[in-house]
Amino acid sequence: MVKDKGTRPDKADLVAQEKAARELVSTLGKREFLEQFQRLAKSFAADPGNPGSYACEGCQRCANCMFCKDCDSCFTCTHCTRCELCNNCSHCVDCKSCNACAYCVQSENCSTSAYLVLCRNLQDCNYCFGCVGLAKKDFHILNVPFPRTEYFKVVGRLRKELGIP
């Protein structure tokens, strides 16, 4: 059967291409492997595409994200702004390397947490401000626990003084 140049390859062609690629990779030596790896990494870094994303503006290398702005290398995030290397986050701003977080601001390396501001390395925390290294804590400022109402008063004042919206 003769194929037009514009048609997509059939499944048998794809299987044959994958098999040939596997054979080639399995015979690579150290030098050739490292050259191929560098070429692959360089081409990924140069491609600012956002596969599977919807209504994202100014984002680069994000995948399956929605309604994000100016993010870089995020995955399945929604409504995030200026985040980098985040995964499964929602409504975060200026965060880096966070996972499954929501409504966090200027936080880094946090996971499964919400309403964090200026926090680092928190896990399963909510309503923390300027905290580092906590797990399963709520309503803390600089790693010090606060009653809920007092927490919001102090955080409101600190946000104004620090210029954090």
- The DSSP-derived string for 80-105 is -BS-BS-BS-BS-BS-BS-BS-BS-B
The pair phi, psi for residue 125, each rounded to 5°, is: -120, 155
More confident position, 2 or 58: 58
- Give the residue among 113, 118, 81 at the shortest CA–CA distance from 98: 113
pTM equals: 0.74
pLDDT digits (tens, 9 = 90+) for 80-134: 999 999 999 999 999 999 999 999 999 999 999 999 999 999 999 999 999 999 9
What is the mean pLDDT of the segment spanning 33-53?
79
CB-CB contact of 111 with 126 (8 Å): no
Is the pLDDT confidence value at 28 over 50? Answer: yes
CB neighbours of 27 closer than 8 A, spacing ≥ 6?
Answer: none
Query: Both ends of the chain: CA-CA distance in Å?
Result: 65
Are 87 and 97 contacting, i.e. CB atoms less than 8 angstroms apart? no
Task: Express each pLDDT in 134-143 by its tens digit.
Answer: 999 999 999 9
Cβ burial 149-163 (10 Å sphere, 16+ → b, else e)? eebeeebeebeeeee
